[in-house]
Structure 1
Amino acid sequence: MVLDLITRCVSSLTKVFADQELKDSAVTNGSALLNESFSFQIAYKSTRLVKDIRVRIQSTLKEKITVRSVGLAPSEFPCYHDHDDLILRITPGLYPDPLYPLDKRDGLTAFPEQWRAIWITVDLQGDVDPGRHLIEVNFEKENREYLGREMFELEVIAAELPEQQLIHTEWFHTDCLATYYNVDIFSEEHWRRIEQFVQTAVKHGMNMILTPLFTPPLDTEVGGERPTVQLVDVEKSGDTYHFRFDTLRRWIELCRNAGITYFEFSHLFTQWGAKHAPKIIGYEKGEQKQFFGWDTDAAGDEYRQFLHQFLPCLIDFIKQNGLEHRVFFHVSDEPHLDQVESYQNASEILQTYVKDFPVIDALSDYTFYEKGLVKTPIPSNDHIQPFLDNGVENLWTYHCCVQYKKVANRFFNMPSFRNRVLGMQLYKFNIAGFLHWGYNFWYSQYSKKPIDPFRNTDAHYAFPSGDAFLVYPGEEGPIESIRLEVLHEALQDLRALQLLESFIGREQVLELLEEGLDGGITFEQYPLNREWYLLKREEINEKIKENL
Structure 2
Amino acid sequence: MHFSVFSDAEWLYPDSAHSALSGISLHLPRGGHDGAQLLGGILSGTLSAVLRWDGGRGPAVRLYRLLPVGVNENTSPTLMTTTDYESCREFVTRKAPFEVFDALKPLTEPEMPDGTRLALYLCAEAAADETPGEYSGTLTVTVGADKAELSVRCTVHAPVVPPPAQARLSMLNFFDYDGPVRQHGLVRGGADYWQAFRSYVRAQLDMRCTHILLPPGEAVYRDGAPAGFDFSFAQQAGRIALEEGAAFLCGGHVAHWHEWDDSEYYPNWDSTTGVSTPQGYLQLRLYFSQWAQVIRANGWQGRITQALADEPQTHNDKTYRVLAAICRKFLPGVPILDAVETTDLGGGVDIWVPKQDTYEKWREEYTALQAAGEEMWFYTCAFPAGPAMNRSMDLPLAVSRTVLWMGALYRLSGFLHWGFNYYIGEDIWHGACCPHKGALLPAGDAHIVYPGKDGRPWRSMRFEAQRAGAEDYELLMQAVDAAPGEADALVRTVCTTFRSYARSGTAVAAARLRLFHLLEEVARNG
Work out the CA distance in 1 between the residues paired with 2:127 and 2:464: 16
Residue 157 of structure 2 aligns with an amino acid whose one-letter code is I
**Is this contact kept in 1: 2:389–2:400, CA < 8 A?**
yes
Identical columns (%): 17
CA distance, structure 2, for counterparts of residue 278 and residue 202 of structure 1: 30
In 1, the alpha carbon distance for the partners of 2:4 and 2:19 equals 11
Q: Name the structure 2 match of 1:164.
A: 167
Match of 1:314 among 279, 283, 291: 291
Q: Tell me the amino acid that sits aligned with residue 411 of structure 2.
A: N
Any residues of structure 2 matched to 1:495-510 within 5 Å, and which? 495-501=474-480, 504-510=482-488
Q: For 1:110 and 1:179, locate their aligned partners in 2 and report how far apart those are by CA, in whole Å.
A: 29
Q: Decide whether the 8 Å contact of 2:406 with 2:497 is kept in 1.
A: yes
- Check conservation: 1:376, 1:396, Cα contact below 8 A: yes
Question: In the alignment, which residue of structure 2 is the partner of 1:398?
Answer: 379
1:265 aligned residue (245, 248, 251): 251
Q: Is the 8 A contact 2:449 2:458 kept in 1?
A: yes
Deviations 1:218-241 (A, max 9, x none): xxxxxxxxxxxx4xx757699995
Alpha carbons of structure 1 residues 316 and 531: separation in structure 2 relative to 1, 3 Å: same
Q: 1:533 to 1:378 in 2, by over 3 A?
A: same
The one of 124, 127, 136 equivalent to 2:126 is 124
Alignment match, 1:422: 403
Match for residue 177 of structure 2?
174
- Give the root-mean-square deviation of aligned CA atoms: 3.0
AA aligned opposite 2:254: L
For residues 369 and 21 of structure 2, the distance between their equivalents in structure 1, rounded to whole angstroms, comes to: 42
Local SS of the residue matching 1:369: coil
Deviation at 1:169, TM superposition (A): 0.6
Q: What's the secondary structure of 1:541's corresponding residue?
A: helix
Is 1:540 matched up with 2:484? no
> How many residue pairs are counted as aligned between the two chains?
496
What's the CA shift for 1:186?
A: 1.3
- C-alpha change, 1:306 and 1:531, in structure 2 (3 Å) is same
Q: 2:251 is matched by which residue type in structure 1?
A: F
Any residues of structure 2 matched to 1:97-496 within 5 Å, and which?
97-102=102-107, 104-107=109-112, 116-125=118-127, 128-143=130-145, 145-146=146-147, 148-162=148-162, 163-214=166-217, 230=218, 234=220, 241=227, 245-271=231-257, 272=260, 273=262, 275=264, 277-279=266-268, 292-340=269-317, 342-354=319-331, 356-366=333-343, 368-369=344-345, 373-390=348-365, 391-393=368-370, 394-444=375-425, 451-460=426-435, 462-476=440-454, 477-496=456-475
> Partner residue of 1:51?
45
1:178 to partner: Cα distance = 2.1
Shift of 1:387: 4.5
Deviations 1:186-214 (A, max 9, x none): 11111111111001110111111111123
Choose the corresponding residue for 1:522, options 497, 501, 509.
Answer: 497
Counterparts of 1:355 and 1:98, CA distance in 2: 42
Q: Which moved more, 1:198-207 or 1:75-84?
A: 75-84
Match of 1:86 among 84, 87, 91: 91
Q: d(CA) in 1 for partners of 2:224 and 2:496?
A: 59
Gaps of at least 5 residues in structure 2 are 77-81
How far apart are 1:455 and its partner, in Å?
Answer: 3.8
Inter-CA distance 340–69: structure 2 relative to 1 (3 Å threshold): same
Paired residues of 1:67 and 1:120 also in contact (CA < 8 A): yes
Letter in 1 for 2:10: T
Are the counterparts in 1 of residues 7 and 506 from structure 2 also a CA contact under 8 Å?
Answer: no
Residue 457 of structure 1 deviates from its aligned partner by 1.9
Q: Distance in 1 between matches of 2:271 and 2:174?
A: 22
Change beyond 3 A, Cα 1:24–1:256: farther
Match of 1:289 in 2: none
